[in-house]
Structure 1
Amino acid sequence: MPLHAARTGRILLALGLLFGSVASAVAEPRRIVSAGGSVTEIVHALGAGDRLVGVDSTSFHPPEVRNLPDVGYLRALSAEPVLSLSPDMVLAEADAGPPEALTQLRAAGVEVVTAPDKPDIEGVAAKIETVAAALGREAAGEALKSEILARWAEVREAVAATGERPRVLFVLSTGSGAPLVAGLETSAAGIIEMAGGGNAIRDFTNFRPLTPEAGVALAPDVILVTRRTVDMLGGEAALLALPGLAATPAAEAGRVVAMDGLLLLGFGPRTPEAAARLARALHPDIELPAGPWDAE
């Protein structure tokens, strides 16, 4: 090979490595705002928690994220608090908004990545893939996904052996007005099914207010709530005394299951744990393998 050709080849290789490194550095976000508790969990599970500079008000886990600046509620974001943190990326759950705020962020040069939020185990896997790709941590994403799917396979096998499918009614208090109940195609319906229960509501999607007549007609065996709802209603006794619940089989048997809201409904890395804990509450005799669901 002629000397000048070899020299030219070495120069081109050096330039390629240089600009390739620069491109990788630019593509890899270093200052991230996370909007959505499950997305925040995934960022940490992928080992990129040190890149977070802010989170939304639904991000509670792991506990250290509570020390980060709070940019507001997931569905009521404002561009200004986010931009004040000088992020180069916003990672958000699919229902983050309003759309105008996300448009303003993009117009300001911030990359906005939204993760799918389907309430089943395939949705969790897709969410992990999206976040891992955005962070440039695809290999870590594949490892995390494999770990979660393996855990879920263990829980699913145990749930399948229970047979019984108690009717479960998920009740949510927003602090004003009648409590809401979860219909089909909700996170509550998804986790109830994964845990071996049957959603008591089969004739509508999303959430609707609980009425006395509807509660009696639904006849749930179990009332499922977040701990926050129990606190807002003044305790389990007050919950079961609600006009829509007092005459139900669940109230008569005192069967209330209260769980952490993000764990129960987040559909993030801890979803197999959530399903296992709920399954144990619905099926006291279930034989689960050892796992994170055994921790207090």
Structure 2
Amino acid sequence: MKRRNLLMAGLLPGLGVAQAQPRVVSVGGAVTETVFLLGAQGQLAGVDTTSLFPLDATRLPQVGYARTLSAEGVLALSPQLLLASGEAGPPQVLEQLRRAGVRVEVLDEHHRFDGIVERTRRIGTLCGREREAQQAVAGLQQAWAARPRPPAGASPRVLFVLAHAGGQLRVAGEGTAADAMITLAGARNALAGVSGYKPLTAEAALQAAPDVILCTSQGLEAQGGADGLLRAPGLALTPAGRARRVASMEALLLLGFTPRLPQAVAELTGKLHGRSA
């Protein structure tokens, strides 16, 4: 009887039964965060390792890193639906899952607030949570409209440095999440005219001449704090380096384009313009 009730609720794979609330594997921190926002976490069979918020997401079975999924790891959790960010892959694994009968839905916000709204509505439809999605979208739009605006006329040059322990430092050009966030916070990307991520060189740093150096809090910690980061090629000689203007934010909040985007933009605006968010 219990299994029958779960089947009717759409929480277990059924035998030809239409699933209003399917069993889900979520891949991508922002996707998983949206599932929780809609109250659909009870449908989650598992998540990937980038699903770090809320904390309860980290307690679910994991299927590995978003970019390097294995079909076997996902299928072991018997999902009916895979919700994936645009970074999920590799493509052949997603195709294997489709052939195995798993519905695969790739959701990308394209680094836009409107994209987050669209993704929220889509996940609501796919998870049978349309009403919850409608309420969530209303809350998002209200928070977005109420976010603080940057000071008039201020537009600091910001260089985002992607840092990992033991890895080569890279800087963010156009078409990246960092570039989009810098723009939303009323600042200018110091690496304008360059696409994607490029290795940090002393020449690139000096030419960029940033007023602020931005990185993730995890990356800053990996470099040993501001002192360690400013030992990287050229950074100490930039206007930001000489003034020791180094800002950081938690990686998923800063770059994830999650439902917390209004909060993220407010916080970043405060950091880049020298005031509390």
Deviation at 1:100, TM superposition (A): 0.6
Deviation at 1:25, TM superposition (A): 6.2
Deviation at 1:197, TM superposition (A): 1.1
State how 1:5-154 maps to structure 2 within 5 Å: 26-154=18-146
Q: Deviations for 1:48-83, whole angstroms, at most 9, x for unmatched residues? A: 011111111111000011111111111111111111
In 1, Cα distance between equivalents of 2:167 and 2:56: 33
Per the normalisation by structure 1, the TM-score is 0.85
Deviation at 1:170, TM superposition (A): 0.7
* 1:239 aligned partner, one-letter code: L
In 2, Cα distance between equivalents of 1:263 and 1:82: 26
State how 1:231-250 maps to structure 2 within 5 Å: 231-250=221-240
* 1:164 aligned partner, one-letter code: A
* 1:238 aligned partner, one-letter code: G
Partners of 1:29 and 1:89 within 8 A in 2: no
* 2:26 aligned partner, one-letter code: S
Instruction: Find the partner of 2:271 among 246, 265, 281.
Output: 281
Q: Deviations for 1:189-210, whole angstroms, at most 9, x for unmatched residues? A: 1111111111111112211101
Q: Secondary structure at the match of 1:114?
A: strand
Alignment of 1:171 with 2:142, yes or no, is: no
Partners of 1:171 and 1:181 within 8 A in 2: yes
* 2:18 aligned partner, one-letter code: V
Q: Secondary structure at the match of 1:144?
A: helix
In 2, Cα distance between equivalents of 1:169 and 1:53: 39
Alignment of 1:218 with 2:208, yes or no, is: yes
Q: Deviations for 1:91-135, whole angstroms, at most 9, x for unmatched residues? A: 001221111110111111111111123112111112112211111
In 1, Cα distance between equivalents of 2:44 and 2:213: 36
Deviation at 1:285, TM superposition (A): 4.4
Alignment of 1:209 with 2:182, yes or no, is: no
Worse overlay, 168-177 or 86-95: 168-177
Structure of higher CA gyration radius: 1
Structure 1 runs of 4+ aligned residues shifted over 6 Å read 21-25
Deviation at 1:231, TM superposition (A): 2.0
Partners of 1:39 and 1:268 within 8 A in 2: yes
What is the identity percentage for the equivalent residue pairs of Structure 1 and Structure 2?
43
* 2:231 aligned partner, one-letter code: A
In 1, Cα distance between equivalents of 2:81 and 2:21: 6
Q: Deviations for 1:240-286, whole angstroms, at most 9, x for unmatched residues? A: 12113111111111111111100111111100100000111112347
* 1:215 aligned partner, one-letter code: A
Partners of 2:174 and 2:192 within 8 A in 1: yes
Q: Evaluate the alpha carbon distance shift between residue 69 and residue 259 of structure 1 in structure 2; reply closer, same or farther with a 3 A threshold.
A: same
Q: Evaluate the alpha carbon distance shift between residue 104 and residue 250 of structure 1 in structure 2; reply closer, same or farther with a 3 A threshold.
A: same
Cα RMSD, aligned residues only: 2.1
Q: Deviations for 1:159-212, whole angstroms, at most 9, x for unmatched residues? A: 254430111111112444420111111111111111111111111221110110
Figure out how many residues of one structure are paired with residues of the other and give that number: 266
* 2:194 aligned partner, one-letter code: F
In 1, Cα distance between equivalents of 2:196 and 2:114: 20
In 2, Cα distance between equivalents of 1:196 and 1:106: 42
Deviation at 1:214, TM superposition (A): 0.6
In 1, Cα distance between equivalents of 2:205 and 2:40: 45
Match of 1:9 in 2: none
Q: Secondary structure at the match of 1:87?
A: coil
In 2, Cα distance between equivalents of 1:187 and 1:25: 40
In 1, Cα distance between equivalents of 2:227 and 2:101: 51
Partners of 2:150 and 2:269 within 8 A in 1: no
Per the normalisation by structure 2, the TM-score is 0.90
In 2, Cα distance between equivalents of 1:258 and 1:239: 12
Partners of 2:150 and 2:185 within 8 A in 1: no
Q: Secondary structure at the match of 1:228?
A: helix
Worse overlay, 226-235 or 256-265: 226-235
Match of 2:3 in 1: none
Partners of 1:29 and 1:88 within 8 A in 2: no
In 1, Cα distance between equivalents of 2:51 and 2:234: 31
Q: Evaluate the alpha carbon distance shift between residue 23 and residue 283 of structure 1 in structure 2; reply closer, same or farther with a 3 A threshold.
A: farther
